[in-house]
Each structure stands twice: as structure tokens, then as C-alpha cells.
Structure 1
Amino acid sequence: MLRLGIAGIGVIAGDYIGLIAGGRVQGVELTALCSRNEEHIQAVSERYGLQAAAFTDYGEMLSSGAVDAVLICTPHGQHPSMARRALEAGLHVLVEKPVGIFADEVEELLDVLHSRSGLICGVLYNRRASQAYRYVHDLVQGGALGELVRATWIITDLYRTDAYYASGSWRGTWQGEGGGLLMTQASHQLDLMQWVCGMPTSVLARCSTVERDIRVENEAELFLTYPNGAHGHFLASAHECPGTNLLEVCMTRGRVSIRNDSEVEVLQLEEDERVFARTCPSSFGKVPGTAKTLTFDHSDNKVQQAATIENFARAVRSETDIQCSLEEGLRSLQIIHGAYLSHWLERTVPLPPPEDLFRSHLAQLS
């Protein structure tokens, strides 16, 4: 049984506490809670009937001997330093997404992890536990559909009202969140896109703020280039209503698409399009193929959250690989940084982007 402590007892931590206390996460025992507000800890403990130790000092929790691992749910900018302290204390770490605000801090954290043999550090991108996206990931990465030609994701159903941004002084600010739509709501989809399609080599982006009194973007358009020359498009919005959620991955031997995180359509070509184009005698011939449709249950996001925490516990016990490693969490952050830098510079930016240039531009906004 993995003894877990949670640092930062906000809304998202409340979801995780409820899942663990409700028995929906196997192999995990909640043994400690850490928050600057002791009354808040007491209220949460009473709500869920917890016997977890309460700490208002993070360092005391780390050295208490009460936990084997820490789940960090504090504001974005605190993630790398708190994860580093936990690793240095010999504890396993699961960090809420995004892994941080600055990539160089995450790179330093990665060095610490590499120096601590046997410790696990993962990032809580729970959408990777989705059966639909796991199916598509295995299909694409397994090579059944050939090589990547194009990937397009229209994710414009991330709607947020003024009340959302007013719910916390840190929301909708560069200083509080390190970004807007790309760093928060659409971070999951960008992570899934790089997990399924691989890491792009460059990005050209445009970000904008539409109809909301915030300083960060709530709309973004990314044009991505991949190592083999394939292109990707990522269109995201938190102001459009009704929105669309459609990922389409076109490859040399077929196409796979996911609509609304659940409806998967696979078109499998009988031969590689490149071979067909060279050998087909007809000017307008098309590669024959077969199609199939699968539907996955995506009704409860908490199923994925529970599965992600359980995966972390199993990875600690060396029973499986971590669902999203620190390295992969860093890559997602680098894509976000590259998009912001591209927008600010109004040009294509290589990935990973120069972190010093990103820092200097972000400092002007903060």
C-alpha cells in the first residue's frame, strides 16, 4: 500500500481526495494532507472521514516518515521546487499538470530525478488514461497506419465564463498561471497530441484574447512541423460556444479520428498511399480501404483521474511504466512555450524553444 501525502488542498485536490477516500484508487492510502490553512485540512478530513496527518509546513510532511510519495496540487509555479524537495527527501512524486511554468526549472528537476535511482516522478495528465486515446496512441505508434502525414485537432469546446476567471485572483494572469488557454484548459489536448503523434520540431502560432477581461489568451492557433515533414494544426478556444472537439490523424496507410473524446473512426488503406500513387494507372484513382467505428465510454473524467493515480502507485511498485513521465511532461510544456514565443516574435520557433528568450518576454508581461 502506497502511503500518499497531498500538498495543496484546493478544488482539484478535493477531487483526488474523494476518489482515494471512496475506494476508487487501488493500492493507495491517504496518510497526510498539507496546506497553509489548518482549518481547511480539518474540514476536508471531516468531510471524507480521513485519519490523515495534518501539516501546515511542507518540509515537516516530507520528513515526517508518514508518506512514501507526494501528490503536488499547488499553483503551477511551485511545482518544480516542491517536487525537487520531495525527491531530495527520497519520496516519489506525482505532479498536477502543467509540470511548471519554466522549462529550465523542470530540466533541473529532471537532473535531480536522474540522480535518485529508484524514484518515480510523473505528471498528472489523466486524459492519457482514456481508452479512446490509448487505442489511437497504440494504433499510430504501432505503425499500422504507416507514417504521419497530417494531424489536426479542433478543440474549441473548452468554454469558460467571466465567473470562472473571477473565481481566483491568479486565474487569467501570466504571473499566476504562466499562461492562459494553452497552459491550462488545452494543456491536456496538447499533451495527448504529442503523445500520439510525437514531438514536433517547430511551431508557428497566433494567440488572442476574445470577449474576456483577462490578460492571457483564450484562443490559439498552432501550425506544427514534425521531423518527417508532416504538419499539425491545433485550434483551441475557451470562448466559442457551442464548440467542437475533433482530432484527425492522417497517415500514409489510413486515417484515424476521435470526436468528443469517445467516437473513434478508423479508415485502413489496403496499401501505402505513396506506393499506390506511383503505380495506379488512373489519374483520379483512390486507394481502396475499409472503415470501422468504435465508441468508448467517456462519461466520467474521474475514472481517468483514479486510473492515473493508480498507475503512479503501480509504477512505484515496478509493476508498470509511469503513464506520463517527467520527460514527457516537459515536452508538453516546451510546445506551449514555443507557441507563446512564436506569437510574441511573430515567426516560426524551433522546438524546444530558447528558454532564456521565453523568460525575458514573459517577464515583460508579468
Structure 2
Amino acid sequence: MLKLGFAGIGMIAKKYIGLICQGQVPGVEVTALCSRSLENIQEAVRSCGLTNAAVFTDYSELLRSGAADAVVVCTPNGQHPPMTQAALEAGLHVLTEKPAGIWMDEVDRAVAALEQRPELVGGVMYNRRMSQAYRKVKSLIQEGFLGELVRATWLITTLYRPNAYYASGAWRGSWQGEGGGLLMTQVSHQLDLLQWLCGMPVSVLARCGTVNRPIEVENEAELLLTFANGAHGQFIASGHEQPGTDRLEICGTKGRIVVTDGREVEICRLAQEERAFTISCTQPFGEIPSTVERLSFDDGTNEIQQAAALANFAEAVAGRSPIMCSLQEGVRSLQMIQAAYLSHWNRSEMAIPADPKAFPAALEERGFGRSRSI
């Protein structure tokens, strides 16, 4: 049984704790709770019956206590890397909420701490990787189904956030608290999936905007991506549209995969690879015959994937399974996000990864510094 501690007892931590207490995460027991808010801890204890859990208002005391074998970090974004690093240096496994952090030098130090302790597991909570639909897509791509990547397009506008969301925490919707907006928070899941499936893009041209919300950060973004082989990508996201659309298209020289709402997968297989067909075809408007297969999956909800991700973490700690998203892999989406912000601010295409000093310098120019306290 994995003894699990939680650092930060806000909305997301309470959701994870609830899943564990409902028996949806086998092999895991919540044994420690840490928050500066005793009220939040007491509410979690009452709602889940965690009367035997150790309670801390000081994170370093939790790490020294022996009350947990591993911690889940659910604090504001800027605190993820130092808290991850501290847990690893204390000899605890750690799963941090996404994103991996805000400041790349701090994230790099957390990664270095993990690499110095290969017996420990360190991961980022990109639970969408546990989706059966996206795992099917990943398998198809690894098997060579698509051939060479031609285009990847994601329209993701199902992440609606009203004013009440931003009012739920003083740090939400601010550069100081979150280090970004829609890209850094909600759609970092989809950006992680995009590079997991298609590989890292090498450059981005981005436009971000803030529409009808009392916030400092963006709630819409459009990214034009270029991949290493010259393929192009389009990533269009919004947190203010109703109703929303969630559609991913990945096109290759051998076929196309479409994922709708994270559940429905359409697999279009070409009878001949396009680059061979275009040479042999004698008809000016010739088209390649194709077959279509449609699959439907029933694990598209956040809760199912979050429970699966927590279970995967426990399995990884036990040595029975690789971690779904290692700390090292979790850095990739952050590199994409920061390059996108720099592109928007500079009104120019940016390489991915960008100069690691450029993003913090740009934030500091705008009057936003680091919040160091953990």
C-alpha cells in the first residue's frame, strides 16, 4: 500500500483525494495532508473520513515526518518545481500537478534532483495520456499507420471558464500566480498530447488574446506550428466560447486519424501512400481509395483518467509500470507554451525550445517576479 501525502488542499487535491477514498485508486492510502489552510485540511478530513491522516501546515515537516512514501503537489504553478525538488531530495516519490512549473531554471533543478536519484519516481499529472482514445492513436502512430506526418490540427474550445472560476482563487488569471493563462493551465493537457503523439514542433508563431474576462492572462490562443520534417500544425483554443468543440486531426502520407471529444476515433487508411500515388496517378483529379474505421471509448471523463493516472503513479513506484508522464517529458509542453508567449509578445516566429532566459526576462519586464515561498 502506497502511503500518499498531498501538498496543497484546494479544488484539484480534494478531487484526487475523493477518488482515492472512494476506492477508485487501488493500492493507495492518503496518510498525510499539508496546507497553510487548516480549514481546507479539516474539510478534507471530514468529507473523506481521513481521521488517521497526519496533518501539516509546514511542507518541510511533512517531508521529514515519514508519514508518506510519496507526495502529490497540488499548489499554484510557481510552487511546483521547488516542492518537487524538495520531495525528491527528502527521498520521496513525487507526482506534481501540471504544468511542471513557470521558471525553467527551477524546473531544471527539479529534473536534476530526480536524475540524481534514479530509484525515485517523478512525474507530471498529464492524466489525458491515460485516455484509451489517445493511447490508441499513440499505438497507431508507433506502428507506422500514418506514414510521415503532414499536418496536425487541434480545435479545442471546450474549456469554458466563467468569471466565478477566476474568483475561486486570488492567484488564478494572473501572471504572478499562474505564469500564464489558457495555454499554461487548461490546454497544457492538449499541448502535451500533441507533442506526445506527433513529436516536438521546432517553431511556433502565436497570437493570444483576453476576451470578456477580468484577468491579466489570455483566454484564447492560436498557434501555427512547424515540425522537424516540415509538417505544419494549427492549435486553436478558447476558454470563452459556448458551445465548444474538441477535434484533433492528424494527417499523414498513409492516412488520417480524427479524435472528437476525446472519445470518438475515426481511422482513415489510404490504399496507397500519397507520395507514391501522386507520381503514378494519370488523372488530373484522381483520388486515393480509402477505408474508414470508427471506434468509441467510454473513459473520456476527467475523473476516470485522473484515477487511472494516480493508479499508474502507484504502479510506477512499485516498479510494475513506467510513469505515464515523467518529469522530464512534462517539461516539453512548458517549452512549447513559453515559446508561444514569446512569439505573441515579439510578433515573430520563435524556435522551440526558446532561450530559457527569454521568458523570465519578458515576464520581469512586465512587472511580474517570482513567488519563492513554498
Q: TM-score range by the shorter chain?
A: over 0.9
How far is the alpha carbon of 1:299 from its aligned partner? 5.2
Corresponding residue of 1:39: 39
**Which structure 2 residues correspond to residues 4-153 of structure 1 after superposition, within 5 A?**
4-50=4-50, 51-153=52-154
Corresponding residue of 2:272: 271
CA contact (8 A) 2:127 2:309 kept: yes
**Which structure 2 residues correspond to residues 86-235 of structure 1 after superposition, within 5 A?**
86-235=87-236
Secondary structure of 2:278's aligned partner? helix
How far is the alpha carbon of 1:164 from its aligned partner? 1.6
Aligned counterparts of 2:340 and 2:29: Cα–Cα separation in 1: 39
Q: What residue identity is the alignment partner of 1:6? A: F
How far is the alpha carbon of 1:295 from its aligned partner? 1.1
Corresponding residue of 2:283: 282
How far is the alpha carbon of 1:300 from its aligned partner? 3.1
Aligned counterparts of 1:117 and 1:301: Cα–Cα separation in 2: 30
Secondary structure of 1:182's aligned partner? coil
Deviations 1:102-147 (A, max 9, x none): 1221112111111112111000011111111111111123211211
CA contact (8 A) 1:141 1:197 kept: no
Aligned counterparts of 1:300 and 1:230: Cα–Cα separation in 2: 31
Could you tell me which runs of 5 or more consecutive residues in structure 1 were left unpaired when the two chains were aligned.
none
Aligned counterparts of 1:22 and 1:92: Cα–Cα separation in 2: 23
**Which structure 2 residues correspond to residues 346-361 of structure 1 after superposition, within 5 A?**
346-361=347-362
Secondary structure of 1:110's aligned partner? helix
CA contact (8 A) 1:246 1:258 kept: yes
Aligned counterparts of 1:225 and 1:173: Cα–Cα separation in 2: 29
CA contact (8 A) 1:245 1:260 kept: yes
Deviations 1:28-47 (A, max 9, x none): 11111111122331221122
Identity of aligned residues (%): 60
Comparing 213-222 and 135-144, the one that deviates more:
135-144
1:299–1:112: structure 2 CA closer, same or farther, 3 Å change rule?
A: closer
Q: Which runs of 4+ in 1 moved over 6 A?
A: none
Aligned counterparts of 1:364 and 1:169: Cα–Cα separation in 2: 22
CA contact (8 A) 2:263 2:299 kept: yes
Is residue 338 from structure 1 mapped to residue 334 from structure 2 by the alignment? no
How far is the alpha carbon of 1:53 from its aligned partner? 0.7
Aligned counterparts of 2:40 and 2:238: Cα–Cα separation in 1: 34
Q: What residue identity is the alignment partner of 1:37? A: S
Q: What residue identity is the alignment partner of 2:303? A: K
Aligned counterparts of 2:326 and 2:40: Cα–Cα separation in 1: 31
Deviations 1:179-200 (A, max 9, x none): 0000111111111111111111
Aligned counterparts of 2:267 and 2:322: Cα–Cα separation in 1: 27
Aligned counterparts of 2:37 and 2:161: Cα–Cα separation in 1: 28
CA contact (8 A) 1:80 1:106 kept: yes
1:167–1:39: structure 2 CA closer, same or farther, 3 Å change rule?
A: closer
RMSD: 1.1
Q: What residue identity is the alignment partner of 2:258? A: S
Deviations 1:61-115 (A, max 9, x none): 1111111111000110000000001000111000001111112211121111111
